[in-house]
Amino acid sequence: MSLDSLKALVPILLVPLTLALGMGAAIQGEWLPPLSQGLLETLPWLMGVLAGVLALIYGRTRTLIAVILVLAVYLGSMFQIRPMAMTPETDLMPALGYALMTLLVPLAFMANALWTERHHLMVDLLLRLGVFGIVAGMALLIAAGHPEGMARVVLTTHWPAVHWDGYKMPQLAFWSLLVSLGVMGFCLMRHPGPQGIGQWIALAGIGWMLPQLFHPYAVPLFTTTLLLILAIAVVHESFQMAFRDDLTGLPGRRALNERLQRLGRRYAIAMTDVDHFKKFNDTYGHDLGDQVLRVVAAQLRRVGGGGRAYRYGGEEFTIVFPGRTAAQCVTHLEAVRKAIETYQIAIRDTRTRPDNHRDGKTQRGRGKVSTVSVTISMGVAERTADYPDPEQVIKAADQALYSAKAGGRNQVCVAPDPRLALPTITDASNPLR
Ligand SMILES: Nc1nc2c(ncn2[C@@H]2O[C@H](COP(=O)(O)OP(=O)(O)OP(=O)(O)O)[C@@H](O)[C@H]2O)c(=O)[nH]1
């Protein structure tokens, strides 16, 4: 779990977390004005339809299932468990229903997160719904046939030493929530993304909401908030897919084009290219080539001077420096160039690698590891009267990049001022003389 993956989580976490915490605080602090029952009961459905339709349109099966689970919890809590629990008979069913729901829903969230998305949306969706439906149906059938036996399993505090009384949930349900959140959190660290964040917050939100079943606003308003978070996650994920490069995690060409349209009057642009990358690919293979591009991207992302790196395409990257001249960028570019030059990329000796994955895992760290490094060349240009728009600045930076390559590579070149580069008319050759 790297610091980079934690950092990647922050921007995608900000909006949903603020929404969830804000609504949670408003409900707990009773800051909300009186709301009609009709409105309270309509909002979750409206938001559920919105989130569900968005998930369907963008083919996000996991989020669609999460939306269905959140709505199922809402339906179960508001229209089954709550009314039953408010009837005077001391029936076991409301408590059993509550315990089963709080036990199974987190497990369904976890299974949904671990289940890889298949290409065919409908098949994927029906499979998930089928499996979760069968498990829930069987649990309910057993509970209806043997309520006392089921109660002993799901309502008993089996291990008092690991039970937290402050959280008003049956012990098994509490641990199911905790384990599911832990596993989903681990997956998120490995593959940070808006969908995963949305689902994690939705489950954590359910965990917060369920013990407050009898609060007049908690379940409907918080359900609405969680569904809104899932809808935002779908849109955010689709936005990222369109604007972010999958291999390196950097913003891609489309994001660069957007950025270029909003640059002010003063800026510099650097073009970067990995040296002899074709030879590298031919020698070490395309997979290690991909790893190199990720390493280069990670270093470029750290560039100083307010620069922002983009993947231009192939092994070319662009860095945009708003408000800077080319000369001001050189030290920052040099720092990145040096960092990449000294970065050692580990390569395993494939001839000694075991065929078996498990053996490979146990031998990891013991095998013969050698390292390799790459260099980059950079060209930088700034906006001037001769290069008045970003396309021309990029062209000038590209020319400077060619000069860096021609000059021996592994260096930064600044685009010359074209006015200084014009052939000077000497007195002897001046026809006007
Ligand atoms: N592994 C990998 N290789 C890529 C990717 N995109 C482009 N390439 C390779 O990058 C190489 C670019 O090679 P060239 O443009 O000939 O340049 P070069 O070998 O870097 O030589 P110089 O630029 O002159 O130093 C090609 O072999 C492409 O196949 C990618 O996403 N992954």
pLDDT in tens, 148-206: 999 999 988 899 888 888 888 889 999 999 999 999 999 998 888 899 999 999 999 99
Query: How does DSSP classify residue 165?
Result: T
pLDDT at 13: 85
The per-residue pLDDT for 165 is 81
ipTM: 0.96
Cβ burial, residue 385 (10 Å; 0-12/13-18/19+): exposed
Sign of the alpha-carbon torsion through 201, 204, 208, 214? positive
The residue contributing the CA closest to ligand 1 atom 21 is 276
Instruction: Tell how far the Cα of 278 is from the centroid of ligand 1, in angstroms.
Output: 4
Question: What pLDDT shows up at residue 424?
Answer: 35
* Choice from 245, 281, 293, 347 to test ligand 1 binding pocket (greatest atom count within 8 A of CB): 281
267: β partners? 322
Domain limits, the chain: 3-243, 253-417
Low-confidence ranges of the chain (pLDDT < 70): 1-6, 8, 87-90, 119, 348-368, 418-433
Going by CA atoms, what residue is nearest to atom 8 of ligand 1?
A: 314
Alpha carbon separation from 337 to 5, 279, 374, 396 (Å, rounded): 23, 20, 10, 20
Nearest-angstrom CA–CA distance, 243 and 249: 10
Mean pLDDT rounded to a whole number for the chain: 88
45-81: pLDDT as tens digits: 999 999 999 999 998 999 999 999 999 999 998 887 8
Q: What is the pLDDT of residue 408?
A: 96
pTM: 0.73
Q: Which residues line ligand 1 (CB under 6 A)?
A: 247, 273-279, 281, 286, 289-290, 293, 314-315, 405, 409
Q: Which CATH number fits domain 253-417: 3.90.950.20, 3.30.70.270, 1.10.3720.10, 3.90.1170.50?
A: 3.30.70.270
Look at residue 429 in the predicted model and tell me its pLDDT.
Answer: 37
Which atom from ligand 1 is nearest to the alpha carbon of 279?
19
The per-residue pLDDT for 364 is 52
Q: What is the percent of the chain with per-residue pLDDT over 90, rounded to a whole number?
A: 64
> Mutate which of 278, 295, 316 to test ligand 1's pocket (most atoms within 8 Å of Cβ)?
278
Tens-digit pLDDT profile for residues 75-101: 998 887 877 777 666 678 888 888 999
